A and B are shown apart, each in its own frame.
Chain A
Amino acid sequence: AQKITQTQPGMFVQEKEAVTLDCTYDTSDQSYGLFWYKQPSSGEMIFLIYQGSYDEQNATEGRYSLNFQKARKSANLVISASQLGDSAMYFCAMREALNTNAGKSTFGDGTTLTVKP
Chain B
Amino acid sequence: NAGVTQTPKFQVLKTGQSMTLQCAQDMNHEYMSWYRQDPGMGLRLIHYSVGAGITDQGEVPNGYNVSRSTTEDFPLRLLSAAPSQTSVYFCASRVTGGGYTFGSGTRLTVV
A→B interface (CB under 8 Å): 4, 33, 35, 37, 43-47, 50, 52, 91, 93, 98-102, 104-110
Contacts and interface: CB of A to CB of B under 8 A. Distances in A.
Interface of B: 30-31, 33, 35, 40-45, 48, 50-51, 58, 88, 90, 92, 96-102, 104-105, 107
B50 A102 contact: yes
Nearest to A102: B50
B96 A101 contact: yes
A37 B101 CA distance: 10
B42 A105 contact: no
A47 B96 CA distance: 15
A105 B50 CA distance: 13
Given A43-B88, A101-B51, A104-B58, A110 B42 contact: yes
A36 to B, nearest CB: 9
A31 to B, nearest CB: 10
A105 B45 CA distance: 8
Given A91-B42, A107-B43, A43 B104 contact: yes
Contacts of B43: 45, 91, 93, 107
